[in-house]
């Protein structure tokens, strides 16, 4: 479907909706509750709501969401600068995971950036986590110190003298610091120290701020204060939303994430929410250490937690791999060797990920089948060199070093005296065209999906309007027949009969309602528990996939005088010991638990909706013969059916909500090892063991709440509706000539609505 055709469909649909809406409004007093019943039955929206939904659907599917993720110093900023800013350093590089702000890039009429700072709640969290780091550092340092003392005493057994306490304390502090430096807690601690270094007068007035500039370069300079490694406000910057009037950003939103497992909970949650909207995610990994442990965890986390279905692997900093063992006489041959090595590595990794993440194995399968198309190399610095080729004096240290290495290793391809040849070689290494092609491919794919989605929505709403027209025409026809055939005396008799039989109607209608309500509650409880138990059983698979054991070899000193003597003379007296350790990918566990929670809530909402639908159907089916038995055909069947529909509509039930969140201690914390890994796994198992009880209690409270939400009696609604219909018809029959004229006019208007 072309864009023009889609727009025409929208206009036609809105026009039809408006016509039917106006007809329904004009006939509301003649048809009573039938109009609302028809709209509800066929899912017909108010024209304003329909227009808003179409606009939202078009806007939602117009914007291409591109995620950029990767570990710190993987070259994400350079990649973005190459793709959208011609290699200019608009986006500063982060020094640590904590100093990397969550950044979004979109099109705007001006060069602006909206900066969000950490809230008081964020700052309190950072402070408490930093204090926790200090406690764990002290505890670990004490354990290391005691171990050092013990080993020193064993080494000196039988000898004279004690030990140098200060020296051992210093050594213990250093070893403990090294061990904790790779944990997320260290990142929070480092951020807290950077915050303390900011003068108090600057900290006191940090609020949301909007920056305006006349060019990308000016905006980049202004942003240095907020996201640059030495920026005054950098430690407090949480998120930056950048808008620029650049064609490259039209109809696109780029989400540059702060890296894996952000220790600031609120920013991590925002990152996850944005990644869920992504149509494609570029995994950026340095070619020199392509797809390391952090990258593997990140890939599993994205596909499990965020549900992203399109991934592109980008081997960044490819220019650094052209030297040494990869060096070849021809540049093309060297690139071929590098891409071959990267492809082999990617196949090995993707095969392993497909096996360990069976529920999203198709994502990795598709990558494996098209690994050459889904694996791209790039070099952001080569883009910068090409753009500034005529101005080598403006090159920075990184650019100068890169050029010198390239010119030395491949003089036939990189020479300042041969600009066209050199720029072509730089473009080959930058590989921006391939990256642009990947984005264009996803955009085209999304466009096709979006057009199908919008077309399906338009067709669905058109069917609803067609059904509404048919139902409206039938209701008008029946009302005309009623007005023509009804007798005033008979209508008065119907009202009298309804009044005389009200007590019996109340008993029979409410008895049927209570029976349906009992069945509804029983089916609801059983259905909710059955769905929750299915999902809860999946947790053991999540932990099994995330937990691993591995063997490390440690060199230890052997005890005894002879071994001590051997160490002093030739470095002997040592032994290599294999140690089995446990590790757990916390992001995978956290993602798995959240997926289970989301699935439980979704399935239970569906189960609750089905149970309510079944109750409505049971009421409609069982009330008709009950009412007929009491009234003995003294009222019109259509009037009875409308009154029963009013009863069903009066039984409103709130949507089911689980109200269970992932505990803070189970949020993603990177890959943990040893006792810390075991502790995390124990907490996860404990939480899931208690989750079944939480879910059952929530089911119980939801069903108990139905007692308050649903009416105790529905007979009053039924009798009132019947009375209003009979009285309304009585008024219409009293003014039959005028009523029939209006109804027949309404009939013609409905007939004239053309599809």
Q: Render 623-684 in DSSP notation, one character per residue.
A: HHHHHHHHHTT-S-HHHHHHHHHHHHHH---PPP-------GGGS---EEEHHHHHHHHHHH
User: Among candidates 412, 409, 434, 419, which has minimal Cα distance to 385?
Assistant: 419
Regions of the chain short of the pLDDT cut 50 = 1-8, 95-99, 160, 304-308, 359-360
Q: How far apart are CA 111 and CA 246, in angstroms?
A: 9
Triad 16, 20, 24: Cα angle to 5°: 170
Phi, psi of 353 (to 5 degrees): -65, -40
Alpha helices in 357-431 (DSSP H): 361-369, 371-374, 380-387, 397-409, 419-430
Q: Answer yes or no: are the C-beta atoms of 84 and 435 closer than 8 Å.
A: no
H-state helical runs in 209-258 = 216-227
Give the pLDDT of residue 1. 40
- Decide if 364 contacts 357 (C-beta within 8 A): yes
Q: What is the rounded radius of gyration, in angstroms, for the C-alpha atoms of the chain? A: 35
Q: What is the pTM of this model?
A: 0.64
Q: How far apart are CA 111 and CA 244, in angstroms?
A: 5
What's the full length of the chain, in residues?
Answer: 755
> Do 409 and 322 meet the contact criterion of CB atoms below 8 Å apart?
yes
> By the 8 A CB rule, do 462 and 16 touch?
yes
Separation of alpha carbons 239 and 264, rounded Å: 12
The SS3 assignment for 118 reads coil
Work out the number of other CB atoms within 10 angstroms of the CB of residue 143. Answer: 12
Name 712's Cβ contacts closer than 8 Å, sequence gap at least 6: none
- 8 A C-beta contact, residue 370 and residue 353: no
Residue 355's pLDDT is: 63
Confidence (pLDDT) at 630:
84
What does the alpha-carbon distance between residue 332 and residue 4 come to, in Å, rounded to a whole number?
Answer: 45
CA dist 424 and 426 (Å) reads 5
Q: Please state the φ and ψ torsions of residue 602, each to the nearest 5 degrees.
A: -65, -50
The whole-angstrom distance between residue 66's C-alpha and the CA centroid of its chain comes to 13
- Residue 409 CA: distances (Å) to CA of 406, 416, 703, 718: 5, 14, 74, 90
Q: Is 583 left (phi over 0), alpha (psi -120 to 50) or beta?
A: beta
């Amino acid at each position: 479907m072309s864009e023009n055709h889609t727009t025409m469909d929208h206009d036609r649909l809105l026009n039809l909706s408006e016509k039917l809406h106006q007809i329904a409004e004009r006939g509301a007093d003649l048809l009573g509750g039938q109009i609302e019943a028809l709209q509800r039955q066929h899912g017909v929206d108010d024209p304003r709501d329909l227009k808003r939904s179409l606009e939202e659907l078009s806007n939602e599917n117009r914007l291409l969401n591109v995620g950029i993720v990767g570990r710190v110093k993987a070259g994400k900023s350079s990649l973005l600068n190459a793709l959208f800013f011609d290699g200019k350093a608009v986006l500063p590089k982060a020094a640590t995971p904590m100093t990397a702000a969550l950044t979004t890039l979109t099109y705007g009429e001006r060069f602006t950036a909206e900066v969000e700072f950490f809230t008081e709640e964020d700052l309190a969290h950072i402070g408490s986590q930093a204090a926790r780091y200090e406690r764990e550092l002290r505890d670990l340092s004490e354990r290391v110190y005691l171990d050092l003392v013990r080993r020193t005493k064993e080494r000196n057994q039988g000898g004279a003298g004690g030990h140098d306490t200060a020296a051992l304390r210093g050594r213990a502090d250093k070893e403990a610091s090294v061990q904790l430096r790779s944990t997320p807690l260290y990142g929070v601690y480092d951020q807290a120290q950077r915050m303390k270094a900011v003068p108090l007068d600057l900290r006191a007035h940090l609020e949301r701020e909007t920056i305006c500039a006349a060019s990308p370069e000016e905006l980049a300079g202004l942003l240095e204060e907020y996201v640059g490694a030495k920026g005054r406000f950098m430690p407090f910057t949480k998120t930056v939303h950048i808008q620029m009037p650049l064609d490259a950003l039209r109809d696109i939103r780029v989400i540059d994430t702060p890296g894996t497992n952000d220790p600031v909970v609120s920013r991590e949650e925002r990152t996850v929410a944005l990644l869920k909207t992504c149509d494609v995610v570029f995994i950026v990994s340095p070619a020199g250490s392509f797809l390391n442990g952090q990258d593997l965890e990140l890939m599993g986390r994205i596909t499990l937690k965020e549900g992203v279905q399109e991934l592109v692997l980008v081997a960044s900093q490819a220019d650094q791999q052209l030297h040494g063992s990869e060096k070849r006489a021809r540049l093309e041959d060297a690139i071929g060797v590098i891409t071959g090595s990267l492809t082999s590595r990617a196949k090995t990794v993707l095969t392993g990920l497909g096996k360990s993440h069976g529920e999203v194995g198709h994502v990795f399968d598709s990558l494996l089948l098209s690994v050459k198309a889904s694996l791209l190399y790039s070099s952001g610095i080569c883009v910068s060199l090409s753009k500034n080729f005529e101005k080598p004096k403006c090159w920075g240290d990184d650019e100068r070093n890169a050029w010198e290495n390239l010119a030395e290793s491949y003089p036939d391809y990189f020479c300042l005296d041969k600009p066209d040849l050199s720029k072509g070689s730089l473009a080959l290494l930058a590989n921006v065209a391939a990256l642009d092609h990947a984005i264009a491919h996803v955009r085209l794919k999304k466009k096709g999906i979006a057009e199908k989605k919008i077309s399906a929505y338009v067709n669905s709403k058109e069917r609803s309007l067609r059904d509404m027209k048919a139902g409206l025409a039938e209701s008008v026809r029946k009302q005309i027949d009623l007005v023509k055939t009804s007798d005033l005396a008979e209508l008065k008799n119907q009202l009298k009969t309804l009044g005389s039989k009200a007590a019996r109607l109340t008993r029979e209608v409410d008895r049927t309602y209570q029976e349906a309500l009992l069945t509804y509650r029983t089916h609801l409880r059983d259905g909710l528990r059955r769905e929750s138990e299915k999902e809860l059983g999946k947790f053991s698979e999540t932990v099994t996939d995330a937990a691993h054991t591995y063997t490390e070899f440690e060199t230890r000193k052997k005890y005894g005088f002879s071994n001590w003597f051997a160490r002093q003379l030739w470095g002997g007296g040592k032994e290599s010991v294999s140690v089995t350790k446990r590790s757990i990918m916390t992001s995978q566990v956290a993602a798995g638990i959240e997926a289970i929670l989301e699935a439980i809530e979704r399935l239970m909402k569906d189960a609750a909706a089905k149970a309510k639908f079944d109750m409505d159907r049971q009421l409609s089916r069982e009330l008709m013969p009950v009412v007929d038995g009491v009234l003995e055909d003294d009222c019109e069947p259509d009037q009875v059916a409308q009154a029963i529909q009013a009863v069903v509509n009066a039984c409103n039930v709130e949507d089911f909500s689980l109200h269970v969140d992932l505990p803070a201690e189970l949020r993603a914390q990177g890959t943990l090892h040893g006792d810390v890994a075991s502790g995390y796994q124990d907490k996860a198992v404990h939480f899931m063991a208690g989750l079944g009880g939480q879910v059952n209690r929530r089911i119980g409270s939801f069903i108990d709440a139905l007692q308050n939400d649903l009416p105790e009696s529905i007979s009053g609604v039924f009798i009132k509706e019947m009375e209003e219909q009979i009285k309304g018809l009585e008024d219409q029959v009293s003014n039959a000539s005028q009523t029939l004229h209006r109804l027949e006019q309404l009939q013609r208007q409905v007939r004239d609505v053309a599809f």
